[in-house]
Amino acid sequence: MKKILFILSIVTLPLVFTSCSDDDDNGGNTIPADAVELKVDETELQIAQENSRIVNITAGNGDYKVTSSNEEVATATVDGKVITITALPTDNNAEAIIVVTDKYYKRAYIKVETAAVFGIRLNKSEATLFSQVDGQDVFTFKIITGNGGYKVEYLENPDNCTELIGIEDIETTGTFTVKGLDNGTAKIKITDKLNKSLTVVTKVIAPDPLITNYDGKILQFSATQQNGKVEIISGNGGYKLEIADPSIVKASMNGSTIEITGKKNGSTYITITDSKKQENKLTVTVDGKNYGLALDNKFWLYANFGNITDNKLVKVKQTTWEIICRLNSLSWLETFIGMEGKCLLRGTGDGSHIELSALGDAFKFHSKTELKTNEWIHIAFVIDCSKTNHKEQYRLFINGEEDDYIIDNQSNRHEEVDLASSNDDNKFTLGRACGDDRRMLNGSIGEARVWTVARTPEQIRANLWRLTEKDPVGLLGHWEFNAGIETNYIQDIAGGKFENNLTICGKGGAISTKVPMSAWIEKDYLK
């Protein structure tokens, strides 16, 4: 009769539950958009009669309530997020549904099967653990069916290769855990109050060693932007990478293959770990020449700062630009660095001086210092919008010395500098502007830096030809032009949250172009 009543209750449950909408159940209140689905960690249970089991609510909206479809079979109580379900003495092989609701009448269902006598059944009868693992490896056996009054004991545990955990709480948790300590095989017997028993086997083995094809070797790059691959030939999966100095190389994991790219000269190591805490350290050295890129009216570059999602790094009150270059000739409006129509450093009409064109020529100056050909020159340009005097707001340094430039127009000035705004499709360019191939730089670039702070004269002079400052503040983009390979980009080595590589283009538009080896020249100013 009770079985028939249960079946009828199941048939009628959906009718009861769907007789009102959620809005009606919720007193006409709107369910918020961030309300989550109600979830529990068990949806089906088998409980010996006169025994209890715990079920945890893993997601929901609070104010939890529980009801049973047949309280003669099973009852339920809830305390916070913990549900206790008790099987009552009744017919052998009886069933009930425990319904869980929250304050928004989200529901979860737990099917409960009860019996006077169950055979013991666990989630697994055999488990493999690993020794030599940091924190040791564990496996939790879960009781699927049984009759309570459980006793767990060893039949075999040679050299104490395993340890039992949580057996004192087995009546409430329905679980016990085995920790692997040393290599060996343990046999564990679980017995219930009706003398039903089951034996499980736990093997403890050593994890596979973590081995790569570069063990005992150094992965060496002869150019800063060279690529290399390292293959993991033995390990335990779940591989993770940690780079000691991410300014020297970048690395990514693709299955069991590690792809590594050089960024700048130096030596570092990459630590590889697997799921069993095995560890392997790989030494990587980048030893390229100090190259510069010969643009020679053939190439130019741009950065797209518009990809940066943090507006504080794009729209700034202070900025510093630095470029090291060498001119083959003096040319009309040749572009050094900046943003066309917004703020651009370029040559004057005859190319003999540095000219600033800002805000559509609303602020404009030219340097007193004359440009020279066939020698490396360091140009630093600082904007500080907090200053009211034009000569203090805009500062120009040539080879570390401040230039007392001549102002040609001062009808407007910057309130802020938007690094992601220009008349060149919002590109920040080096070596060309305004989509005009006539304004390409006939020369070479050795290094460039973009900052979101106003660098001091002392800072500029101390790091003139090479940035030696440790952990510099406000470095947004840094390019050393040392690639030394056929490539279509220059690696950003600033080491910030956003990687702003420079795209190399040729004449005729913003089309990514690969430069040949012949375009690389030695930066002799570093000798």
- One domain for residues 246 and 276: yes
Paired with 428 in beta bridges are 303
Of the residues 94, 115, 136, the one at which a domain ends? 115
pLDDT, tens digit only, all 527 positions of the chain = 344 344 334 434 443 333 333 444 555 557 888 899 999 999 998 888 888 999 999 999 999 999 999 999 999 999 999 999 999 988 777 899 999 999 999 999 999 998 888 889 899 999 999 887 666 789 999 998 888 899 999 999 999 999 999 999 998 888 999 999 999 999 999 999 989 999 999 999 988 999 999 998 999 999 999 999 999 999 999 999 999 999 999 999 999 999 999 999 999 999 999 988 889 999 999 999 999 999 999 999 999 998 888 888 899 999 999 999 999 999 999 999 999 999 999 999 999 999 999 999 999 999 999 999 999 999 999 999 999 999 999 999 999 999 999 999 999 999 999 999 999 999 999 999 988 999 999 999 999 999 999 999 999 999 999 999 988 999 999 999 999 999 999 999 998 888 999 999 999 889 999 999 999 999 999 86
Q: Kindly give, in sequence order, each residue whose CB lies less than 8 Å from that of residue 178, ignoring residues fewer than 6 positions away.
A: 127, 129, 138, 139, 140, 141, 162, 163, 164, 165, 186, 188, 202
- One domain for residues 198 and 216: no
pLDDT at residue number 16: 37
Number of domains in the chain: 4
pLDDT at residue number 476: 96
CA 490 to chain centre: 22
- One domain for residues 100 and 162: no
CA R_g for the chain: 36
Q: Write the CATH number for 248.
A: 2.60.40.1080
Which two structure tokens, joined as six digits, stand for 206?
Answer: 């050593």
DSSP string covering 386-429, please?
Answer: T--SHHHHEEEEETTEEE-PEEEEES---SSEETT--TTTT-EE
Tell me which H or E stretch contains 337: strand 335-339
- One domain for residues 81 and 158: no
- One domain for residues 195 and 217: no
pLDDT at residue number 262: 94
pLDDT at residue number 25: 53
Q: Write the CATH number for 310.
A: 2.60.120.200
Of the residues 205, 233, 266, the one at which a domain ends? 205
- One domain for residues 254 and 311: no
- One domain for residues 201 and 238: no
- One domain for residues 281 and 318: no
- One domain for residues 234 and 179: no
pLDDT at residue number 28: 54
CA 327 – CA 311 distance, rounded (Å): 35
Nearest Cα to Cα of residue 169 among 144, 189, 152: 152
Identify the domain containing residue 270 by its residue range: 211-286
Helix, strand or coil, per DSSP, at residue 17: helix
Number of neighbours of residue 499 by Cβ within 10 angstroms: 14
Burial code of 363-382, b = ≥16 C-beta within 10 A, e = fewer? bbbbbebebeeeebbbbbbb
- One domain for residues 383 and 521: yes
pLDDT at residue number 3: 42
pLDDT at residue number 29: 58
Q: Tell me how long the chain is.
A: 527
CA 518 to chain centre: 37
Nearest Cα to Cα of residue 479 among 419, 430, 418, 432: 430
- One domain for residues 397 and 450: yes
Burial code of 438-458, b = ≥16 C-beta within 10 A, e = fewer? ebbbbbbbbbbbbbbbbbeee
pLDDT at residue number 57: 96
| Burial status of residue 284 (CB atoms within 10 A of its CB: 0-12, 13-18, 19 or more) | buried
CA 237 – CA 252 distance, rounded (Å): 15
Of the residues 162, 189, 205, the one at which a domain ends? 205
Contact predicate 322/340, CB 8 Å:
no
- One domain for residues 282 and 295: no
Which two structure tokens, joined as six digits, stand for 357?
Answer: 């064109």
